Amino acid sequence: MHIVHSISDLRAVLGPLGRPAFVPTMGNLHDGHIALMRRAVQLGEVPVASIFVNRLQFLPHEDFDSYPRTWDADCERLAAAGCQVLFAPRERDLYPEPQTFKILPDSQLADLLEGEFRPGFFTGVCTVVMKLFSAVFAGKTSGIAVFGQKDYQQLMVVRRMVQQFTLPIDIVANPTERAPDGLALSSRNGYLSASERAEAVALSRALRTLGEAAKAAGDALPAQREALEQAARAQLNARGWQTDYLSVRRRSDLLAPKPGDALVVLGAARLGPTRLIDNLEI
């Protein structure tokens, strides 16, 4: 596996190689990330990963400084999964000067759910993804990027960005990897104490229960949705969580569902200081 830090070294390594199949990450890799990497390898292109903790997508009070960094283990796991090139820019490689040009995503999609509770988050995500894409895919006529469904709204925002800027990049979605008890794998799970870890599965259970209630409501869902969501939030909060949202949306645009729409349930909640997100297509 080639490990490169600067954009010029990345371009030198990728130049003679074929189409990249690219997996952007913030490191502290777990089986969810590795599943994305394996998917990239299966695609038969040049498997490329990046590790970069992107300051731009963290709010001032969030965990940028304490975000877990596990460089040696990450390198080992990526190499074992078949990664051919690892791009690990330093801050000065991606942001040599303050990033004053930014990608402003469609507010209809990016200002709700995660965007409501983490204002500016998707601007930070889109801006860094655009910079990573321009570093990795420079000089290529096309490529592939693999994202996890764990970050459902992020995946939709990135897809729309790629579509609106007509980037020649196919976005491939990989399903959410879970622990045996159902907890979605996340770098932030490492923040949980033993008792919090045991409780953490309640988030995916709450999504499942809300999803079942939404399905049972059938055509009455639009009328009942808010009450169902409120009950789900109250139940999770009663267990000691602070719920940002638990919501049934339509898959196409994450707006309120109408009868017949394909549905997804999305949630974000804090357990102690740790904020977890998850979702379930139903």
State which residue, 4 or 37, has the beta carbon closest to ligand AMP.
37
The window from 26-34, 160-168, 198-206, 209-217 that contacts ligand AMP (CB under 6 A) reads 26-34
User: Phi and psi (nearest 5°) for 8?
Assistant: -65, -40
What does the alpha-carbon distance between residue 277 and residue 185 come to, in Å, rounded to a whole number? 10
Neighbours of 128 (CB within 10 A): 25
What residues contact residue 118 under an 8 Å CB cut-off, 6+ apart? Answer: 59, 62
Give the number of C-alpha atoms closer than 13 A to the C-alpha of residue 139, restricted to the C-beta side.
13
Residues 112-171 that bind ligand AMP (CB under 6 A): 147-148, 150-151
Closest approach of Cβ 199 to ligand AMP, in Å?
Answer: 18
Q: Does 25 bind ligand AMP (CB under 6 A)?
A: yes
Q: Does 26 bind ligand AMP (CB under 6 A)?
A: yes
Closest approach of Cβ 24 to ligand AMP, in Å?
Answer: 6
Q: Does 177 bind ligand AMP (CB under 6 A)?
A: yes
Q: Does 176 bind ligand AMP (CB under 6 A)?
A: yes
Handedness of CA 42, 43, 45, 51 (dihedral sign): negative
Q: Which residues are catalytic?
A: 33
Place of tokens 């010029």: 8
Closest approach of Cβ 227 to ligand AMP, in Å?
Answer: 30
3-state secondary structure at position 193 = coil
Residues shown for the chain:
282
Closest approach of Cβ 26 to ligand AMP, in Å?
Answer: 4
State which residue, 84 or 187, has the beta carbon closest to ligand AMP.
187
Q: Does 185 bind ligand AMP (CB under 6 A)?
A: yes
Q: Does 45 bind ligand AMP (CB under 6 A)?
A: no
Q: Alpha carbon of 8 to those of 15, 90, 129: distances in Å?
A: 10, 13, 18
Q: Does 40 bind ligand AMP (CB under 6 A)?
A: no
What does the alpha-carbon distance between residue 153 and residue 200 come to, in Å, rounded to a whole number? 21
Residue 177 DSSP label: P
What does the alpha-carbon distance between residue 281 and residue 251 come to, in Å, rounded to a whole number? 8
State which residue, 19 or 150, has the beta carbon closest to ligand AMP.
150
What does the alpha-carbon distance between residue 180 and residue 73 come to, in Å, rounded to a whole number? 22
Give how many residues touch ligand AMP by CB under 6 A: 17
The window from 77-85, 172-180, 190-198, 255-263 that contacts ligand AMP (CB under 6 A) reads 172-180
Residues 240-269 that bind ligand AMP (CB under 6 A): none
Residue 43 DSSP label: T
Among 186, 204, 209, 243, binds ligand AMP (CB under 6 A): 186
Which residues contact ligand AMP by CB under 6 A?
25-26, 32-33, 35-36, 147-148, 150-151, 174, 176-177, 184-187
